[in-house]
Amino acid sequence: MILKKVNHDSNDFFEVRQVLKSKWLKIHIRNRIHILKLSSLIMEEDVIQQVAMYLFEAQISGKKIKHPIAWSKLVSERHIQKVYKKNKLNEATKYEAIEDLLGKHQDENYFDDDGRIRKSIEQLKPANREIIKMRYFRDLSWGKIAEILSQQEGKQISEPTARKRGERALNELRQIYFNKLTN
C-alpha cells in the first residue's frame, strides 16, 4: 500500500484530538469495560486509540462527522461488544458446551474420555447431526442455519423453526447419550 503525503493544517484533526482528550468518553469506556468484566482483556486507552483511528480514517476518506464524541461513544460500544462476544465464544470448548447442554455435571465420572458424545452425535439422524454441527461446531447463528436449511430444502425456513429443529436435535442427542450411559 502506497501512502500519499497529505497536507493538512492543524485544525483538520481537531475532532481526533477532542476524542483523545474526552474525559466523558474515557469514563463511559471504563464503565463498560468494568460492567462486562473485560478489565483483564482490554484497556480503556486501547479502545480510545482504536476509536481515534477509526475517526481519523473516516476524516481522511472525507466523511463528515457532526458529533465526534457521540459518534466515538457508539464506535467504542461496538468495539467493546466485539471483544465481549469473542471472549464469550472462547470461554468454553465445543464439547464442554455440548456437555452443558446435555445436563452433565463437572464430575470426573462424566468426562468424555471414550468419545461418547462424538459417538452419540454420529448416531443422530443426518438432518439433526447437521444442525448440531452447524450450531455447536461451526458457531452459526439460528438465522444463518435457517438460511442454509432454506437453501437445502428449497423452501423458506424461519429462524424459530430452525431453533425448534435444533431443540429436537439436542433432545435426540440427550436421549442417545443417556441411553448409552445406562447400558
Same domain, 125 and 80: no
Name the DSSP class of 124.
S
Q: Which of 46, 64, 91 is the last residue of a domain?
A: 91
- Tell me what pLDDT residue 3 has: 38
Into how many domains does the chain fold?
A: 2
Residue 133 sits in a domain of what CATH number? 1.10.10
Q: Which of 91, 120, 151 is the last residue of a domain?
A: 91
Q: What is the pLDDT of residues 107-153, one digit of tens each?
A: 444 555 567 788 888 899 999 999 998 988 888 899 999 999 999 99
Same domain, 83 and 98: no
Instruction: Give the pTM.
Output: 0.45
- Tell me what pLDDT residue 163 has: 92
Name the DSSP class of 66.
S
CB 146 within 8 A of CB 161: yes
- Locate 140 and state its grid cell: 452459526
- Tell me what pLDDT residue 140 has: 87
- Which stretches in the chain have pLDDT values below 70? 1-12, 89-114, 180-183
Q: Which of 67, 91, 115 is the last residue of a domain?
A: 91
CA torsion, ordered 170, 174, 180, 183, to nearest 10 deg: -150
- Tell me what pLDDT residue 20 has: 84
3-state DSSP helix/strand/coil % of the chain, to nearest 5? 70, 0, 30
Same domain, 69 and 117: no
Structural domain including 43 reads 14-91
Q: Pick from 20, 74, 7: which is nearest to 66 by CA?
A: 74
